[in-house]
C-alpha cells in the first residue's frame, strides 16, 4: 500500500470515527431530552413521555426503508447527503418556526414534532457512515472498525454537553449543540466524496 493511500485510509477512518461520535451523540440527545423539553413547555409528563416512542418509531421506519432502498436504489453516499442536509434544515427550523400544531391527538409546540422528525434524518446516518468508512480498507478493515467503535462514546458525551447548556441557558437553546454535529457530518460527506478509498490492499 502506498504511503499516500495509507494516509487517506487512516485520516478517513479517524474522520469517520468523529462522525459516528457526533451522530450517535446527537441521536441520543433527541431521544433522551425530548421529555424534559416538552415538560419545559408545560406539557404534562403523562403526555410528554410518549414522544420518545414516536422518535424511535420513525427511526425504525427509516431503518426498514434503508434495508429496501440501499444500495439497490440509492447509494450510501447519496443517503448520507440527504440525511445530513435534512438534519441541518430541521435544526434551523426548530429555532425559527413557532406555534402550536395538533397531530396524533397532541396539541404541542411545533418544535417537539421537529425533534421527532430528526429521528428520521438520524436513522440512516450510522448505516451509511459505517460501510463508507470500511469500504476499500482491505486488510486494514479490522483496525478501521476498531477505530470506528470508539466513536460510539459520543452517545454518552454529547448529551452531557447538551445538559451543560440546558442548565446554563435553557432546554430550548441547548439544542444548538446539534448544529455543529450535523455540519461536521456534511463535512465528512464532502471529504469522503473528494477522497474515496478504492483499495488499500
Rounded to whole angstroms, how far apart are CA atoms 78 and 90?
A: 18
Please check whether residue 93 lies inside any domain of the structure: yes
Give pLDDT, residue 21. 95
Domain membership of residue 171 (yes or no) is yes
Q: Would residue 44 count as lying in a domain?
A: yes
Does 184 reside within a domain?
yes
Each residue of 152-171: pLDDT tens digit? 999 999 999 999 999 999 99
Question: Contact at 8 Å (CB) between 50 and 104?
Answer: no
Question: For 62-93, how does the pLDDT look when each residue is reduced to its tens digit (9 = 90+)?
Answer: 989 988 988 888 888 899 999 999 999 999 99
The answer as to whether 201 is a domain residue is: no
Residue with cell 448529551: 159
Would residue 199 count as lying in a domain?
no
196 has pLDDT over 60: no
Is pLDDT at 197 greater than 60 in this prediction? Answer: no
Q: Please determine, for residue 11, whether its predicted confidence score (pLDDT) is greater than 80.
A: no
The number of domains in the chain is 1
| 29 belongs to a structural domain | yes
More confident residue, 39 or 1: 39
pLDDT at residue 199, as a whole number: 45
Residue 33 counted as domain residue = yes
CATH number at residue 141: 1.20.1250.20
Can you list the alpha helix ranges (DSSP code H) found in 41-140? Answer: 45-48, 51-69, 76-96, 110-123, 126-134
Closest by CA to 71, choosing from 124, 134, 18, is 124
Domain that residue 127 falls in: 3-194
Q: Which helix (H) or strand (E) holds 102?
A: strand 100-103
Mean pLDDT value of segment 2-24: 78
Amino acid at each position: 500500500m502506498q504511503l499516500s493511500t495509507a494516509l487517506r485510509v487512516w485520516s478517513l477512518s479517524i474522520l469517520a470515527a468523529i462522525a459516528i461520535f457526533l451522530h450517535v451523540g446527537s441521536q441520543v440527545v433527541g431521544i433522551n431530552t425530548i421529555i424534559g423539553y416538552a415538560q419545559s413547555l408545560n406539557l404534562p409528563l403523562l403526555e410528554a413521555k410518549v414522544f420518545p416512542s414516536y422518535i424511535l418509531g420513525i427511526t425504525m421506519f427509516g431503518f426498514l426503508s434503508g434495508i429496501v432502498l440501499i444500495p439497490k436504489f440509492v447509494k450510501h453516499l447519496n443517503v448520507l447527503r440527504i440525511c445530513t442536509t435534512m438534519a441541518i434544515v430541521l435544526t434551523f427550523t426548530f429555532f425559527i418556526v413557532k406555534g402550536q400544531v395538533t397531530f396524533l391527538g397532541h396539541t404541542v409546540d411545533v418544535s417537539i414534532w421537529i425533534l421527532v422528525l430528526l429521528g428520521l434524518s438520524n436513522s440512516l446516518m450510522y448505516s451509511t457512515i459505517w460501510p463508507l468508512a470500511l469500504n476499500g480498507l482491505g486488510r486494514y478493515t479490522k483496525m478501521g472498525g476498531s477505530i470506528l467503535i470508539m466513536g460510539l462514546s459520543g452517545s454518552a458525551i454529547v448529551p452531557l454537553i447538551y445538559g451543560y447548556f440546558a442548565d446554563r441557558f435553557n432546554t430550548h437553546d441547548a439544542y444548538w449543540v446539534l448544529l455543529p454535529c450535523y455540519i461536521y457530518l456534511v463535512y465528512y460527506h464532502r471529504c469522503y466524496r473528494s477522497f474515496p478509498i478504492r483499495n488499500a490492499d
